[in-house]
Amino acid sequence: RTIHGLIYNALKLFMEMNQKLFDDCTQQYKAERQKEKEKLKERDDAWTKIASRAKGNPQVTPSHVPF
Protein backbone atom coordinates (compact mmCIF):
# COMPACT_ATOMS: atom_id res chain seq x y z
CA ARG A 1 0.00 0.00 0.00
CA THR A 2 2.81 2.39 0.87
CA ILE A 3 4.65 1.62 -2.37
CA HIS A 4 1.51 2.25 -4.41
CA GLY A 5 1.11 5.62 -2.71
CA LEU A 6 4.72 6.55 -3.46
CA ILE A 7 4.37 5.50 -7.09
CA TYR A 8 1.14 7.46 -7.43
CA ASN A 9 2.81 10.56 -5.96
CA ALA A 10 5.80 10.21 -8.29
CA LEU A 11 3.54 9.84 -11.35
CA LYS A 12 1.50 12.85 -10.25
CA LEU A 13 4.70 14.87 -9.86
CA PHE A 14 5.91 13.88 -13.33
CA MET A 15 2.53 14.80 -14.82
CA GLU A 16 2.61 18.20 -13.16
CA MET A 17 6.20 18.92 -14.21
CA ASN A 18 5.68 18.35 -17.94
CA GLN A 19 2.26 17.13 -19.06
CA LYS A 20 3.21 16.89 -22.76
CA LEU A 21 6.30 14.79 -22.06
CA PHE A 22 4.31 12.54 -19.74
CA ASP A 23 1.61 12.08 -22.42
CA ASP A 24 4.25 11.35 -25.08
CA CYS A 25 5.91 8.74 -22.85
CA THR A 26 2.54 7.17 -22.05
CA GLN A 27 1.64 6.92 -25.75
CA GLN A 28 5.04 5.44 -26.58
CA TYR A 29 4.66 2.87 -23.79
CA LYS A 30 1.20 1.87 -25.03
CA ALA A 31 2.47 1.57 -28.62
CA GLU A 32 5.35 -0.68 -27.51
CA ARG A 33 3.00 -2.89 -25.49
CA GLN A 34 0.71 -3.21 -28.52
CA LYS A 35 3.66 -4.23 -30.72
CA GLU A 36 4.64 -6.87 -28.14
CA LYS A 37 1.09 -8.26 -28.14
CA GLU A 38 1.07 -8.40 -31.94
CA LYS A 39 4.44 -10.20 -31.98
CA LEU A 40 3.18 -12.77 -29.47
CA LYS A 41 0.05 -13.36 -31.53
CA GLU A 42 2.11 -13.79 -34.71
CA ARG A 43 4.36 -16.27 -32.90
CA ASP A 44 1.38 -18.23 -31.58
CA ASP A 45 -0.20 -18.25 -35.04
CA ALA A 46 3.04 -19.51 -36.57
CA TRP A 47 3.29 -22.36 -34.03
CA THR A 48 -0.34 -23.26 -34.61
CA LYS A 49 0.33 -23.42 -38.35
CA ILE A 50 3.41 -25.58 -37.80
CA ALA A 51 1.49 -27.93 -35.52
CA SER A 52 -1.31 -28.23 -38.04
CA ARG A 53 1.12 -29.07 -40.81
CA ALA A 54 2.94 -31.57 -38.61
CA LYS A 55 -0.32 -33.32 -37.75
CA GLY A 56 -1.15 -33.54 -41.45
CA ASN A 57 2.21 -35.10 -42.35
CA PRO A 58 1.73 -38.83 -42.99
CA GLN A 59 5.38 -39.52 -42.13
CA VAL A 60 4.90 -38.35 -38.55
CA THR A 61 3.11 -40.43 -35.98
CA PRO A 62 0.81 -38.56 -33.55
CA SER A 63 3.06 -39.39 -30.59
CA HIS A 64 5.87 -37.35 -32.17
CA VAL A 65 3.79 -34.15 -32.37
CA PRO A 66 3.99 -32.39 -29.00
CA PHE A 67 0.89 -30.24 -29.53
Query: What pLDDT is recorded for position 58?
Result: 75
Query: What pLDDT is recorded for position 54?
Result: 86
The closest of 29, 26, 6 to 18, measured between CA atoms, is: 26
Query: What pLDDT is recorded for position 57?
Result: 79
Query: What pLDDT is recorded for position 59?
Result: 78
Domain segments of the chain as ranges: 1-30
The tens digit of pLDDT for each residue in 13-65 reads 999 999 999 999 999 999 999 999 999 999 999 999 999 988 887 776 666 55
Element (H, E) at 29: helix 19-55
